[in-house]
Amino acid sequence: MAFLQLTNLTKRYGLITAVDSLSFSVERGSFVSLLGPSGCGKTTTLQMIAGFEDVSDGQITLNGRDLASIPARKRGLGIVFQTYALFMHMTVAENVAFGLDMRKTPKPEIKRRMTAALDLVHLSHLADRYPRAMSGGQRQRVALARALVIEPELLLLDEPLSNLDAKLREEMQLELRRIQREAGVTTLMVTHDQSEALALSDKVIVMEKGKLKQDAAPFDVYEHPKNSFVSSFIGKSNNLPAKLISTSEKGSVLDCGGLTLHGPAVNLMTGPVEIAMRPERITLGPQDGKLSGTVIERIFLGDQWLMRVETMIGALMVLRPNSGQPVADLGETVHLDWEEAHLRILPAEGRPVTGLSL
């Protein structure tokens, strides 16, 4: 039985359905991310689990308990808000101990658990400091310690790294994962950052317009997207309309803008589909290849080059590692190639799926 189970969870605001029959599970001790663009319903889902929003329909079960009948303050959940919500007039130690004070925990136990929580987030040396005198990353760790000190069954994180700069965010991703593993606490995080979700999670729940679009491990979400939205939202992708001519155990044959392509076998009806190719899977060569084109844009990213190549089937993004050698210039003709196994064949919008197998 799943530790956290959402079954047909729905939230309506009048005629607007913010969360639409959402179902997924979270295993004990795992780190799961709710990922999607702004307005997709991920924060509303988190708020229903926390008890800050009423449930219109469906069920939330935590460790066998129906949360609908339990007030928010008695659910025993640890929550880290986007703004951290620290008390600026309290020291770090007082902030961390606050939840235990409210629970009338004995003083010796408060001291023991507060010390352990600060040790976990590596902030014991700053116990007497006030939050206003701390960096963003340190404040984030104080908020984590305050959420963990009550020993919650479930830790909820609402965009916990969004207020940090890019470099500090990367550093805190490692810290957050370390803290979660050492604490062993089941964690559900809301984020709109694809790389953050892929880096931190055991499982990613991708949402769009209140609906679940895919529920899988980060590798599978990236390598085997189930639909066009997931393919284009997770990382960079070249998505183009195509027609599935035939498919068998040996593979598929497609027509894309007059170009015949071969790809893996799929369990889809022949007819309109969409193909997707990751830019890093496309190679450049001086001749031959599946397709030729002209370099129309070129961006240097430090460790990589991102190019846009105009071809007969449309403009394609190509991502190549920086080997220290020059890459193709603007206006230069290049030849593109890729392995057939790296082509993804997705159902066209609105077409029935007979059981997608990528």
Q: 148-182, pLDDT tens digit by residue?
A: 999 999 999 999 888 788 888 888 898 899 999 99
Residue 49 placed within a domain: yes
CA dist 3 and 229 (Å) reads 29
Spatial separation of the C-alpha atoms in residues 13 and 56, rounded to whole Å: 9
Side chain identity at residue 261, one-letter code: L
Please name the helix (run of DSSP H) or strand (run of DSSP E) that holds residue 39, with its range, or none. none
With 0.95 as the threshold, say if the pTM is over it. no
154 token code pair: 């479930």
Q: Could you tell me the CATH number of the domain that includes residue 276?
A: 2.40.50.140
207/37 Cα distance (integer angstroms): 8
Residue with tokens 């007082």: 94
pLDDT at residue 357 in the model:
41
Does one domain contain both 298 and 246?
Answer: yes
pLDDT of residue 350: 60
Residue 57's H or E segment, with its range, is strand 57-62
Q: What is the pLDDT of residue 356?
A: 42
Average pLDDT of the segment spanning 63-90: 90
The mean pLDDT of 206-232, rounded to a whole number, is: 96
Count structural domains, the chain.
Answer: 2
CB 58 within 8 A of CB 45: no
- How many residues in the chain? 358
- What single string gives the DSSP state of each residue in 6-30? EEEEEEEETTEEEEEEEEEEE-TT-
Question: Tell me: the pLDDT tens digits for 128-155?
Answer: 999 999 988 899 899 999 999 999 999 9
Which of 223, 245, 276 is at the close of a domain? Answer: 223
Which of 223, 256, 273 terminates a domain? The answer is: 223
3-state class (DSSP) for residue 289? coil
Structure tokens at 5: 């189970």
pLDDT, position 352: 53
What tens digit of pLDDT does each residue of 102-117 get? Answer: 889 999 999 999 999 9
Claim to verify: residue 42 and residue 91 sit in the same structural domain: yes
- Determine the pLDDT at residue 162: 84
Instruction: For residues 241-267, give the mean pLDDT.
Output: 95
Q: Quick one: average pLDDT of 288-296?
A: 91
pLDDT at 286: 66
Residues 198 and 296 in one domain: no
Question: Is the same domain home to 188 and 65?
Answer: yes
pLDDT at res. 351: 58
Note down the domain range covering 133: 4-223
Q: Look at residue 289 and tell me if it is in a domain.
A: yes
pLDDT of residue 69: 85
Whether residue 212 sits in one domain with residue 72: yes
Decide if 230 is inside a domain. no
Q: Which residues are bridge partners to 299 per DSSP?
A: 306
Same domain, 147 and 254: no
Pairing of strands 304-311, 271-277: unpaired
* Six token digits for residue 284: 């450049």
355 assigned to some structural domain: no
Domain shared by 266 and 137, yes or no: no
pLDDT-derived band of residue 358, with 50, 70 and 90 as boundaries? very low
Q: Is there a single domain that holds both residue 79 and residue 188? A: yes
CATH code at position 20: 3.40.50.300
Does 193 lie in the same domain as 246? no
Are 172 and 248 in the same domain?
Answer: no
In a domain, 354, yes or no: no
Would you state the pLDDT for residue 68?
A: 86
Distance of CA 347 to the CA centre of its chain: 22
- Domain assignment present for 44: yes
Query: Which amino acid is present at 29?
Result: G
Please state, in angstroms and rounded to a whole number, the distance separating the CA atoms of residues 53 and 72.
9
Q: Do 175 and 27 have their domain in common?
A: yes
What tens digit of pLDDT does each residue of 302-342 get? 999 999 999 999 999 999 999 998 888 999 999 999 999 99
Q: What is the pLDDT of residue 128?
A: 94
Please check whether residues 260 and 300 belong to one and the same domain.
Answer: yes
